[in-house]
Amino acid sequence: MKGFAPLRVLGLMSGTSMDGVDGAVLVTDGERITAFGPSAFRPYTAPEAAALAAAQGLWPGEAPARIRAAEQVILESHRALAGQFGAIALLGFHGQTLAHAPAAGRSHQLGDGAALAAATGIRTVWDFRTKDMAAGGCGAPLAPFFHWACARRAGLAEPVAFLNLGGVGNLTVVNPAAATPDSPGALLAFDTGPANAPLNDLMLARLGRPFDENGMLAARGAVHAPVLTRLLRHPCFARPPPRALDRHDFHAALDLVADLPDAAAAATLTALPAACVAANLCHLETVPNRWFVCGGGARNPRMMFELARRLPGTVAPAEAIGLNGDMLEAQAFAYLAVRVLRGLPTSAPGTTGCGRPVSGGRISPLSA
């Protein structure tokens, strides 16, 4: 499709931290980023968050009433947020991950794109994982193609890393010199291990707070190294990438800090994401000298400190190259939506382990 005009697309993202919905507008033709548009965050209310938490880990057919309640939260919250952005040509709808088991070829991604399209009147691209997993991929991570576009827009020439620290951590190593994101050697991406999920769960369970604001509690404690050593024995670290993990794969983290004081437990779980990334350096053919961090972890000074002392090169928030680290994943699904519309690949062997480049996603409604 030569001469494809850039579209004003809204990407919608609800991540494993389950704090709310990110919405971000991107103007793109699915190859280049023409412009970044407005963005907004819609937090979940306490009852909404409780409904989503009650459905976590469930597979289709399990506790159907809880799944229906969570699905209604996803539909209504995304519909409400989409209504804030005016004229939009296309929606990119990630949905909410309830359970993900790539080794078994299974993923439960909550969110009905056809229902969202009907509720908003906007053509919606959704279900980004199924086709990738059918081709042997892990179904995640899905943002790396957008990371390639961001590196190109920023004029970067050497390999760089994008590190997203949401509930789970994922890393993308980008070679901006590659002609397309699905070119051999353009991208290597994989989930690194837990990011904010164990820390947030700790804060909620012990102190009734959703997160450790500015890392203040962790800053008052000392990292308990034996806990990190035990967690880094997890078999996932021996598996070469690509790989995808689930929010619950490291549920043992909370048990291992159960006897530590609050500050020491927070310090240990704050250091855990950086320790996980460092443990994965052995899998990189090229270790980048520049690391750009996005997601909630980038706003935690203590977590950024741990990254800086454990990783080679320089560590900086994504804002250092003109990006909005809080909205990068929402923007990614706007970008991917246009690629699906054009039939362009959205994943490749180096990003998810699929056997060939795959254009995933469904479009609702099918008519323009």
Summarize pLDDT for 202-229 with one digit per residue, the tens. Answer: 999 999 998 999 999 999 999 999 999 9
- Annotated domain spans of the chain: 7-138+327-364, 155-321
pLDDT at 367 over 60: no
Say what the alpha-carbon torsion angle 114, 20, 317, 184 is, to the nearest 10 degrees: -30
Q: How far apart are the first and last CA of the chain?
A: 16
pLDDT at 150 over 70: yes
- With residue 317 as reference, give the H or E element that holds it: strand 314-317
Given this model, what pLDDT does residue 101 score? 87
Quick: pLDDT tens for 155-174.
999 999 999 998 899 999 99
Given this model, what pLDDT does residue 366 score? 66
pLDDT at 77 over 90: yes
Note the CATH architecture for domain 7-138+327-364: 2-Layer Sandwich (3.30)
Mean pLDDT of 262-267: 98
Q: Using pLDDT thresholds of 50, 70 and 90, give the confidence band for residue 1.
A: very low
- With residue 174 as reference, give the H or E element that holds it: strand 168-174
pLDDT at 368 over 60: no
What is the rounded CA–CA span in Å between residue 285 and residue 207?
A: 42
pLDDT at 342 over 50: yes
Of the candidates 25, 242, 209, the one whose C-alpha atom is nearest the C-alpha of residue 141 is 242
Given this model, what pLDDT does residue 72 score? 97
> Is CATH 3.30.420.40 correct for 155-321?
yes
Q: Using pLDDT thresholds of 50, 70 and 90, give the confidence band for residue 40.
A: very high
Quick: pLDDT tens for 82-101.
999 999 999 999 999 999 88
pTM (predicted TM-score) = 0.93
pLDDT at 16 over 80: no
Mean pLDDT of 266-294: 96
What is the rounded CA–CA span in Å between residue 80 and residue 332?
A: 20
Given this model, what pLDDT does residue 314 score? 97
Mean pLDDT of 132-142: 93
CB 16 within 8 A of CB 244: no
Given this model, what pLDDT does residue 2 score? 60
- Kindly write down the DSSP assignment for every residue of 285-309, as one continuous string: SS--SEEEEESGGGG-HHHHHHHHH
Q: Which long-range contacts (CB under 8 A, 24 or more apart) does 364-368 make?
A: 364/113, 364/114, 364/116, 364/117, 364/123, 364/124, 364/126, 365/114, 365/117, 365/123, 368/123
Average pLDDT of the chain is 94
CB 345 within 8 A of CB 148: no
Quick: pLDDT tens for 297-306.
999 999 999 9
Same fold across 7-138+327-364 and 155-321:
yes
Mean pLDDT of 53-58: 94
Mean pLDDT of 15-32: 92
